[in-house]
Amino acid sequence: MNRSKALILLSVVAFATILGGWYVTAYATSNSGNSTMLGFWRSEDELTAELCGPGFKGGLMRGGRGFNGFIEVSAVYNETVIDIMESDPDVQNLLTEGYTITAVRPFIKSVVEADGTVVTKATSAIVILTKDTTGKASVWVDVTAAKVTKIVILTRSVIDKSG
């Protein structure tokens, strides 16, 4: 084997090792109880920006997509999240202003218990609200505490100076 092929093979192995290390670190960080990381290297605010940004492609109350495929979310879970959300006065104001529910995205957390069993729960969710093309909002719902914990509103204004 010549030197260039050996160097390419070594580079591929090194790159795969680095990616594997990052994955393990991110996986361990995202599953710890003390972390503010959600998903794969995304903070809460980055995830909000992704969900509400221009690239958002959500369907009405679809389940989230994980690394190993789609997770189906029951209608009862969605109704519970929406009921909690709609009981909040600030959310009621948004709905009155013309925002509509676009998607419910659960946060799924897996915990390894002392005996090695794995418990997976969706104890919180983000509800995405949209208003025409001018506004999107993320409503963070804590299902366990039955309350809205945060609302992030993104608005877009267009100023036409063409004449």
Reported as a single tens digit per residue, the pLDDT across 24-62 is 665 554 444 443 444 444 445 455 555 544 443 333 333
DSSP lists the bridge partners of residue 109 as 121
Fold classified for 39-155: Nuclear Transport Factor 2; Chain: A, (3.10.450)
**In 3D, which of 112, 142, 111 has the Cα closest to residue 126?**
142
- Which has the minimum average pLDDT: 7-11, 50-54, 91-95, 119-123? 50-54
Q: Where are the domains of the chain?
A: 1-30, 39-155
User: Whole-prediction pTM value?
Assistant: 0.55
CA 120 to chain CA mean position, Å: 16
pLDDT digits (tens, 9 = 90+) for 73-84: 888 999 999 999
> In the structure encoding, which two tokens stand for residue 135, read together?
């506004």
Query: Alpha-carbon torsion 54, 87, 141, 61, what sign?
Result: negative
DSSP string, 83-128: HHHHTSHHHHHHHHTT-EEEEEEEEEEEEE-TTS-EEEEEEEEEEE
**pLDDT band (50, 70, 90) for residue 87:** very high
DSSP lists the bridge partners of residue 139 as 127, 151
pLDDT at 46 (0 to 100): 52
* Amino acid, single-letter form, for residue 142: D
pLDDT at 22 (0 to 100): 67
pLDDT digits (tens, 9 = 90+) for 124-133: 999 999 988 7
- Mean per-residue pLDDT for 99-121? 89
Neighbours of 109 (CB within 10 A): 15
Could you give the residue ranges of the DSSP H alpha helices within the chain?
Answer: 3-30, 44-52, 75-86, 89-96
